[in-house]
Structure 1
């Protein structure tokens, strides 16, 4: 994930990349799936935010001025099998056919700690999604605003078991929403198409550089010379990832750019053409609108933050 809602191919190799850091332990091979949340790091030039990802994250997901950190649900460790030998007992020790063992990043000690406070039925996924829900709490971000600019997020326990489970449920819904943005239902924005627009779908939906309506009217998006999207709800612009909303990120990333030094053209229309989905970018705008509006709705349902006195 290069930027929010914008994926790019990456040649992931320790010999070619300047830094890979711990990424090989999180995504050792294409066959190894993982999820985790990226957070804006300490000292960044943009406000704190978090987003759930299932792809290799760029260091600067929320912009060049915001180096962040990724907290995966799992890590993978290479099994200790001598080169050239096959471990016949690999399947009995949780080793996959590629020679890796999946390690749970929620430790037994942390699980026991949460179970002692919220009950024996708490599982490790609950702890993971509780954290993701908590990181979206406006009360949390306000209460720890100063700390979030200087250090990694600290995760307090909420006072009541009921609130804990609400944060878990909301964290799960937010994670599912953010991971599944490409499958979200398109928001019913109004498509205004000018007379004389091309009949060919590829040309009709081709994008060069999008912009908001006249006088920075953010309820309208001029998609291209032929199409304008209208009735964009105000809530769309309330969901911020760093210093930009979801649609702001789409405007920034889904435009034709030419690298001055190399002359290489980055054309987002190429992907749509290769996959025979000429409406991909336009529908992505509608889907991200749905994700943004729904995220704001879910955040509004989070309980008031009351910290446990331990």
Structure 2
């Protein structure tokens, strides 16, 4: 793609008509067209390859993270500046979205349209380079690491003072971060502020007591562990009956999953060999925007050809790259468990003093 772009940058005569806008070679965004018309060439930078990004809920993809070829990278470069910098944050569906309010904790590059509707990412940390002539210390504090970045805590000392004054000196900044994640899952909170959440970013109320604060914070941690570590949770024991004698790569290959009955959603036709049954009703209660977690899985894990580029997106390739023929079928079971456990945790959250 970059080679084709450079060819166009070097051979055009300054008019768009002279560019070969072949969509099978490159997606010609306005920014990329402008750079090509100005004769600006680019180089492939291996360090821009990231093995993991979160494209849609519970859908990971590799990405070439680049300030030119990702036309609107937003602030992601300050959250995940290099493959060596970890982070944790939650993507909140933006106000004004068509879909209901939702959020999801992530530990990799997030897509700006995580829920198809736009999302705003709230990271635990931000990374910055020193601006004072290479000094290792600056106003933000901290020492620059071996890649030249220092980590900035996004939980301010001022807000820590508010929480410690209310809930005691033992409150940490991590406690506050996970408290917020817990509160934003509260059914009471979402119902009380449904209209406000359509118009603005959420405001976070203080818990009624120290005990409730810690309950919310612990719930936020458990939810975070589930939502980030979904590939490691124990698969939910859905009923699975498979034929004997079929090659495992063929047996677990997905083309397009679908519900056996769209009304009951108790059985998921995985492929022509396997149907997953006994899907609990709670699995459908965990919603992320306009879809349940399982419905996101059905939508994304299918073989699909992009009309413009002709590129075939085959999720089975991800399974092969990870040498795990059961990756997708076990993912369906794991996301079922994540959904069920999320609903159960949310139902244990304390009442907030909203009056």
Structure 1 41/198 Cα, relative in aligned 2: closer, same or farther at 3 Å? farther
Check conservation: 2:249, 2:325, Cα contact below 8 A.
yes
How many residue pairs end up in the alignment?
300
- Is residue 123 of structure 1 aligned with residue 172 of structure 2? yes
Counterpart of 2:317 in structure 1 is 270
TM-score by length of 2: 0.81
Structure 1 spans left out of the alignment, 5+ residues: none
SS of match in other structure, 1:79: coil
Check conservation: 1:198, 1:204, Cα contact below 8 A.
no
- Is residue 212 of structure 1 aligned with residue 259 of structure 2? yes
Whole-Å separation in 1 of the counterparts to 2:262 and 2:121: 38
Counterpart of 2:351 in structure 1 is 304
Work out which of the residue numbers 195, 218, 237 in structure 2 matches 1:188.
237
Check conservation: 1:14, 1:20, Cα contact below 8 A.
yes
Check conservation: 2:254, 2:302, Cα contact below 8 A.
yes
Whole-Å separation in 1 of the counterparts to 2:120 and 2:308: 30
SS of match in other structure, 2:241: strand
Whole-Å separation in 2 of the counterparts to 1:163 and 1:57: 31
What is the root-mean-square deviation in Å for CA atoms of aligned residues?
1.7
Counterpart of 1:291 in structure 2 is 338
Structure with the larger RCO, 1 or 2 (CA within 8 Å, 6+ apart)? 1
Check conservation: 2:142, 2:152, Cα contact below 8 A.
no
Structure 2 spans left out of the alignment, 5+ residues: 1-53
Per-residue CA deviations over 1:184-219 (Å, capped at 9, x if unaligned) read: 10001110225xx65210001011000011454311
Counterpart of 1:26 in structure 2 is 79
Larger Rg: 2
Whole-Å separation in 1 of the counterparts to 2:132 and 2:80: 20
Whole-Å separation in 2 of the counterparts to 1:73 and 1:88: 22
- Is residue 96 of structure 1 aligned with residue 145 of structure 2? yes
Counterpart of 2:69 in structure 1 is 16
TM-score by length of 1: 0.93
